[in-house]
Amino acid sequence: MSNFIRNAWYVACYAEDIGEALFARRLLDEPVLLYRKEDGTPVAMLDRCPHRFAYLSKGRRIGDEVECIYHGLRFGADGGCTRSPYHESPPANIAVATFPVVERWGMIWIWMGDAALADPDLVPDHSHLEAEDMHTAHIHYTFQGNWQLGNDNLLDLTHLFWLHANSIGGYKDEAGPAPGEVYTAKQVGDEVHSTTLTPNVTKPSAVPNRLPEGEPYDQWNDTIWRAPADIRFFIHASPVGQREGSIPYMTQSHIMTPETATSTHYYSPVARSWDKDPAKDEGWTSFFKAIFDAEDGPMMADVEEQMAGRDLMEMRPVVLPRDRAAILARRTVARILAAERGETEIAEAAE
Amino acid sequence: MSNFIRNAWYVACYAEDIGEALFARRLLDEPVLLYRKEDGTPVAMLDRCPHRFAYLSKGRRIGDEVECIYHGLRFGADGGCTRSPYHESPPANIAVATFPVVERWGMIWIWMGDAALADPDLVPDHSHLEAEDMHTAHIHYTFQGNWQLGNDNLLDLTHLFWLHANSIGGYKDEAGPAPGEVYTAKQVGDEVHSTTLTPNVTKPSAVPNRLPEGEPYDQWNDTIWRAPADIRFFIHASPVGQREGSIPYMTQSHIMTPETATSTHYYSPVARSWDKDPAKDEGWTSFFKAIFDAEDGPMMADVEEQMAGRDLMEMRPVVLPRDRAAILARRTVARILAAERGETEIAEAAE
Amino acid sequence: MSNFIRNAWYVACYAEDIGEALFARRLLDEPVLLYRKEDGTPVAMLDRCPHRFAYLSKGRRIGDEVECIYHGLRFGADGGCTRSPYHESPPANIAVATFPVVERWGMIWIWMGDAALADPDLVPDHSHLEAEDMHTAHIHYTFQGNWQLGNDNLLDLTHLFWLHANSIGGYKDEAGPAPGEVYTAKQVGDEVHSTTLTPNVTKPSAVPNRLPEGEPYDQWNDTIWRAPADIRFFIHASPVGQREGSIPYMTQSHIMTPETATSTHYYSPVARSWDKDPAKDEGWTSFFKAIFDAEDGPMMADVEEQMAGRDLMEMRPVVLPRDRAAILARRTVARILAAERGETEIAEAAE
C-alpha cells in the first residue's frame, strides 16, 4: 500500500526544526537525516551509512560533515565520503544518497524522487503565509493513517458540523450546517478548487474572526488542493453581499507528508490577521492541536483500521455530493501514480 | 486461518449487555454495532459507515437511529439511510449492512452468513438455563486463541485433573482422575454426545454440589456439542446406583464466538439448583473467571503461540482415547466449512 | 529470513543455568526445554507436548521425567512417553523430540540438526576458558537483530574506536585508532583467523591489562571465528618487540545462538589472568553488560530495523578493508547454508 508519489516536493520539517543538531525523520518510509550547514543551508540525506547501515543521525557532526558512530566513516553535505580511517584518501565510490532540499515559506521542502526533476520553481506557492499584515504560527500534527485520508478529511468540510460539533464546528448555539450553504468544486489543471460559502450568517461563529458579533455576515472558505497533499484554505468573512475584493482574515496551509504507508506527518501553518502578538502563537497551536488530537487524528486511525490494508476506493465507499473535491483529488493522485509507474491508464479503482 | 463457519447463530453478547447505548464488539473479524430499539428489540449492524468508514458506534443515537459522527449520515435499525444532510431526501442506495438477531436464553444471537438462511428456529436450545428450580449466572471470558481450541479444551475434561489440579480439578485430597471413570463419546447427527461418569465417589469433590459430604455418590457430566462451538454440560450427582431419572444439580453452557482468527469471546452461563440468591451471582462468576483467567486462558494462548499460524490438525497432534469427542467435533467443523466453501470432500487435515 | 545452520553445536545456556527446575529457552526459533537429570546429566527436548502442544516447561518434574500440565502425559529424558493416564501402559508411538546435548567449557551445547551427525568431538574448542592461571566469568547478552550481525560486529574491531569511544574504545585520552595498527585476516579451512596489532603503545589503555602504566608495550588480539557464530579472542600485551611466546592476559569467547530470525542469545565467557577473586565476577559481567546494552545492542537493533527483513548482503553494503574477516565469515556461512539446502553453488548474494 505504499502508493507514494515520488516526484514531488514534500515538507520535511519546519525551518526552525533544524540547525546544528542532527535531526532524523522518516519520510516516504525512508529514514532521512536533516541539518543545516554552518552557513545555514539545509541538507538532507538518507539516514543510513552505506557501510553497515547505522543511522547517521546517531553519529556526530564535525563542521558541515557527519561522522558515523559505528566505524567512523565521514560524509560531507553532498553525501560524498570525506574521510575513511581505513584509507589514505576517502574512496570516491563511497557515498550516501542525498535529497534536494529548498527552504521556503518557513518550511524545508524535500524531493525524494528523480533528482533531475527537482526544480525549485515547482515548490508549491504558500506565499499567503508571508502576506503583509498576517502573522503565522506553525502546527505539526501526526496521525496513524494513510496520507490520502488527510486529503479526504480536509476537502470535505462538512465534518466540522459533526466530528467537531463540540469544538470548532458550525455555530456556538447548535450543531449542523447553516441553511443556504453553497458548495462548489472543480478541477483546474492538476489542482482542485472548491469553495464553501455561507451567506448571511447571523449566529456567533465558533471559528475566531474579526467581525463584530451580532452583525450578519457572509462567511466562505476558498480551498486549493494540489498533489500529493498540499492544501490552502483562504477564509473570508465580509458584511453581507460585500464579498467582492475581500481579503482573507485567516489562511491555513495543510500539507501531508507520508511517514509510512499508514502514518503521516501533517504540517499546518496558520496565518491570522489579528491577535498577531507572537507570544500568542503557543495558544493558537495548542488550540488547534488539542482538537486535532482528540477528533481528527483518532478518526483517521479508525478509518485506517477499518481499511486493514485495503485501498479505500476498492472498498467502494458511498460518494456524497460534498465528496466532489476529495474524489477529484483521489483521481488526480491515481493519474500521477499511474504515470510514475509508466502506466497510461488511470487506476480503475479510483474512477 | 479465518476458518469461520458463516451460516450459524453465534452469541453476540448477553441480553443485559445492550440497551440504549451503542455497543461495539468484533465478531468473526468484523466490527459489529449492537443496541436495542426503544421498544427493546435488539439490533445488529456492521459498525462501519458506508460513506467514509467511521465506526458508527462512535456516533450518537437518535430515537431508534444512529448518526455517524464523521459527516452526519443517519441510519435506521434496518440499515437504511434515514437522513443525509446533503440530500433533500435520503438516497435509497445508501445503507449499512445489518445482521439478523434473536434474543433467547438470556443471550443475543447473531447470524453473520446468508441472511436468507437465518431461521430463528435454528437458535440452539439452551432451555436448561431457564429450567424450573435453577438460577443462572452469566460469565463472559475471552482468550487469545482460535475458537476451536475452546472446543478442544471443553470436550476433553481430563484437563481438570492437571491444569485445574489446584482449583476445581478432581478431589480435594489428591490430583488425578478417580479410578473407575467411564468415558463415552459418539456422533449423533451433527452433534457430538459424550459422558464422563465416576461411580461410587467417596472423596470430597472440589466441584460444589448438593450431596452431603461423606456419603458415596455417582458423579457424571453429559456433554452435548453442536457446531460451531456450542456446548452444554449437564452435571449430575446421585446416590450410588440411583442414576436413573436424575436431574442435573448444575448445568453450564459454553459458547464460543470468534473475535478474530486468534481470539475468542466465550460465553458461559451457569445454572445452579442451590445457593440461588442472585446476590451470590457475583461470587459464582468471579470464582469461575479467576480459574479460567489463570489456567485455561493462558493455556489456549500458549497453544495458539505454538501453532504460530498453522492449523492444529496439520501439526499432527497425538490423539488420545479421551480426544474422541474433540476429534468428532473437529471433523464436523471441517465438513461444514468444506460445504460452505462448496467443496464435497472433507478437508483431509481433519481426518 | 530464518537462515539457520542446523548441523552445528550451539550454546543453549550456561552450565549453571539448569538444574532441577524446568528451564525454557527459544533457540533457532523453536521452544526448547532444558533441565538436569538427578545424576546431573543435561537434557534438552522440544518444549511442546505432542498431544495438544502445551509447553512442557510449564508442567512439573517427577524424578527424571516431565509431566504435561494440560492432560498429564509424562515423558522421560529420552523423550519417550513413560505414563499416559489413558492407557494401561504408555503407547510406544507417543514421544517428544529430544536434542543431543553436551556439557563442556561451562556451557550446555545443543545440536538441533540431524542427530546422527551430532558428534561431541565437534563441540568447538573453548579450552582457553579453563586454562591454568585464568579465571572465567559468564556473561549472557541478548540483542534484537539477526545472529550474523554479531559476527559482523565482533570481526571488525574498529567499532571500538567509535561506538565505544567513551567506554572501552581506544585510549583514555583520545578516541580513534592508534597509528601503526596492523590488521590481517585469512581463511583457514572453515575458520577465519584475524589479528589486530598495535605496536609500541605508550598511551594508557581503556582496556584493563597487567602491564605497568607508562611503559610502552605491544598490544594485539588474535581472533578465531568458526561457523555459525563461534569466536575466540586471545588478547595479548607484551613489552615492545617481545611478542614471541606471549600468553594472553585475557581471553574471551563470543558465541551467538539465534533465538529467532531477528533476535539472538549471545554468550560471552571472559577469562582473566589477574583480579581472579570470584567475588569480582559480578563486577566484570556488569562492566561489559552495561557497555553492550548501551552501545552494541542498540546498534544491532538499529541495523536490523534498517534491513527491514532484507538480507544484509542483498543491500550491497560498502565493503572496507577491515571488513575482510566479516566478509570471509559471511561467505563461509553462505556456503554451509547452501550445502545444507543441497545446493552446490554458493549463494550469490554473499559473493
- CB-based contact A320 B71, cutoff 8 Å: yes
Per CB-CB distance under 8 Å, the chain A contacts of B57 are none
Q: Which residues pair with A107 in a beta bridge?
A: A14, A104
The 8 Å CB, 24+ separation contacts for C291-298 are: C291/C164, C291/C167, C291/C168, C292/C141, C292/C143, C293/C141, C294/C167, C295/C163, C295/C164, C295/C167, C296/C141, C296/C143, C296/C153, C296/C163, C297/C141, C297/C142, C297/C143, C297/C144
The pLDDT assigned to B1 comes to 42
How are strands ordered across the β-sheet holding A9-14? A9-14, A107-111, A101-104
What are the structural domain ranges in chain C?
9-120, 125-350
Distance from CA of C130 to the nearest CA of A (A): 33
If you average pLDDT over residues A223-241, what whole number do you get? 96
Answer yes or no: are the C-beta atoms of C222 and C236 closer than 8 Å: yes
Q: Which of B67, B69, B86 sits opposite A320 (nearest CB)?
A: B86
If one counts every other C-beta atom within 10 angstroms of the C-beta of residue A193, the result is 16
The Cα A266–Cα A230 span in angstroms is 10
If you average pLDDT over residues B13-21, what whole number do you get? 98
* Mean confidence (pLDDT) of chain A: 92
Distances (CA, A) of B297 to A283, B176, B265, B289, B318: 49, 21, 11, 10, 22
Against chain A, the chains showing at least 3 CB pairs within 8 Å are: B, C
Per CB-CB distance under 8 Å, the chain C contacts of A85 are 158, 161, 176-177
If one counts every other C-beta atom within 10 angstroms of the C-beta of residue B16, the result is 10
Collapsing DSSP states into helix, strand and coil, what is residue B254?
strand
- CB-based contact C86 B321, cutoff 8 Å: yes
pLDDT band with cut points at 50, 70 and 90 for residue A347: very low
The pLDDT assigned to C342 comes to 87
Reported as a single tens digit per residue, the pLDDT across B278-315 is 999 999 999 999 999 999 999 999 999 999 999 999 99
pLDDT band with cut points at 50, 70 and 90 for residue B207: low
Against chain B, the chains showing at least 3 CB pairs within 8 Å are: A, C
Chain A touched by B94 (CB under 8 Å)? yes
pLDDT score of A298 more than 70? yes
Distance from CA of B66 to the nearest CA of A (A): 13
ipTM, two decimals: 0.93
Superfamily of domain B125-350: Naphthalene 1,2-dioxygenase Alpha Subunit; Chain A, domain 1 (3.90.380.10)
Residue A32: closest CA among chain C residues belongs to which residue?
A: C306
The Cα C43–Cα C124 span in angstroms is 20
The Cα A204–Cα C348 span in angstroms is 71
Reported as a single tens digit per residue, the pLDDT across A112-162 is 999 999 999 999 999 999 999 999 999 999 999 999 999 999 999 999 989
Q: How many residues does chain A have?
A: 351
Count CA within 13 A, CB hemisphere, residue C81. Answer: 22
A124-350: what fold?
A: Naphthalene 1,2-dioxygenase Alpha Subunit; Chain A, domain 1 (3.90.380)
The Cα B33–Cα B31 span in angstroms is 7
pLDDT band with cut points at 50, 70 and 90 for residue B262: very high
| pLDDT by 10-residue block (mean), chain C, 351 residues | 87 98 98 98 98 97 97 97 93 96 98 97 98 96 98 94 84 64 95 94 68 81 98 94 93 98 98 94 96 97 97 95 97 96 56 41
Per CB-CB distance under 8 Å, the chain B contacts of C52 are 152, 303, 317
A9-120: what fold?
A: Rieske Iron-sulfur Protein (2.102.10)
The pLDDT assigned to C169 comes to 75
- CB-based contact C158 A72, cutoff 8 Å: yes
Tell me how many residue pairs between chain B and chain C have CB atoms under 8 A apart.
57
Give the residue among B249, B216, B224 at the shortest CA–CA distance from B235: B249
Q: What are the φ/ψ torsions at residue B159 (nearest 5 degrees)?
A: -65, -20
The pLDDT assigned to A215 comes to 81
Residue C302: closest CA among chain A residues belongs to which residue?
A: A54
Above pLDDT 90, what percent of chain B? 83
The pLDDT assigned to A176 comes to 67
Chain C touched by A96 (CB under 8 Å)? no
pLDDT score of B267 more than 90? yes
Contact map slice: C 59-78 vs B, CB within 8 A: 67-73
